[in-house]
Amino acid sequence: MQFLALWVAMCAPDLPAVASDSPASRPNVLMILTDDQGLGDFSFTGNPILKTPNMDRLARESVRLTDFHVCPMCTPTRGQLLTGVDAVRNGATSVTAGRSFIRPGIPTMPELFAQAGYKTGIFGKWHLGDHFPNRPIDKGFHEAVYHLGWGMLQAAPEFDNPLIDGRYFHNGRPNRFTGHCTDLWFDAATAWIKERQAAGEPFLCYLPTNAPHGPHVELDEFTQPYQGKGPAGFFGMIAHVDKRIGQLDSFLTESGLRDNTIVIFMTDNGGTAGVRLFNAGLRAGKTTLKAWFQDAGGADLCGAFFAYVRRLN
């Protein structure tokens, strides 16, 4: 549990030792959050069809939190993760209807990291407000490459296939991208990390993919292995993210950043499209109670972080 202590310590804006340390002595933080991927949607948990070699290796090499609770929907999990405050208290209790915003005045993780001398960036799904004062750049992120709303269908006027050659937002302004959006998030994050390394700046990189949330639009190279065997689009999106995680890990190793970077991987709620095929022993999925990672032992990372932020306030 050493990495938990490091993460919490770095979030303290009133610790002068953190801010005065040299950048090299402060570990970077990379947090990867996939959307709608359940406990059964990994080959290391026993999925009979899906192959996730890079996620499997990450699980083998990491401290795995097996008593780790998230909310059963997108926005509440994201709001709690970024504030350390329960959704009912922080205000981000639902995905629509004006209930997807963090209440004003509640400190956020990127704000606390920024106060401690870190550069902060988000690349992917925000889902905590599309307009001022609720955009990621209003909540502590120095760099924000993201889509609007709950998914790519809300990010662009093209409702047929916006995940490929669609539109995204960069620091509040719309732009076009070429290719698949999963590659956009990972490419933008990698380029930004390279810039931070060149500048000698410690970083918090938040990489919340929209994948494998619907619409399940994916490149043929990732869906073809699963045709006729299960939810091909859904599994293909996971396979795509898995490949990019492997490439990102290789970049961290080759650049010399890996030994000084804390990598955290998690999903945002219970399973969805893959539940009927394999659900790793869980009884239900997204939007249902207790559809979370649960096993013997482990620790509650969010609970510990909640308690810490409450002490700050």
pLDDT digits (tens, 9 = 90+) for 121-145: 999 999 999 999 999 999 999 999 9
User: How many CB atoms sit inside 10 A of residue 177's CB?
Assistant: 18
The answer to whether the beta carbons of residues 70 and 267 sit under 8 Å apart is yes
Report, as ranges of residue numbers, the positions in the chain whose pLDDT lies below 50.
1-20, 291-313
The DSSP H or E segment spanning 45 is: none
pLDDT of residue 305: 42
For residue 278, give the amino acid letter.
F
pLDDT value for 214: 92
Q: What is the DSSP letter of 300?
A: -
Per-domain boundaries in the chain: 2-13+26-312
Structure token digits, residue 255 = 């650049």
pTM of the entire structure?
0.85
Cα distance between residue 37 and residue 268, in whole Å: 8
Contact criterion met (CB below 8 Å) for 211 and 182: yes
Q: Give the pLDDT of residue 311.
A: 47
Helix or strand run (H / E) with residue 53: helix 53-61
Cα radius of gyration (the chain):
18
**pLDDT tens for residues 237-251?**
999 999 999 999 999
CA neighbor of 217 nearest in space, from 164, 168, 257: 164
- Dist CA 206 CA 208 (whole Å): 6
Single out the residue of 71, 54, 129 nearest to residue 267, CA to CA. 71
| Confidence at residue 292, expressed as pLDDT on a 0 to 100 scale | 37
In CATH terms, the superfamily for domain 2-13+26-312 is Alkaline Phosphatase, subunit A (3.40.720.10)
How far is Cα of residue 150 from the mean position of the Cα atoms in its chain?
14
Q: Identify residue 218 by its one-letter amino acid code.
A: E
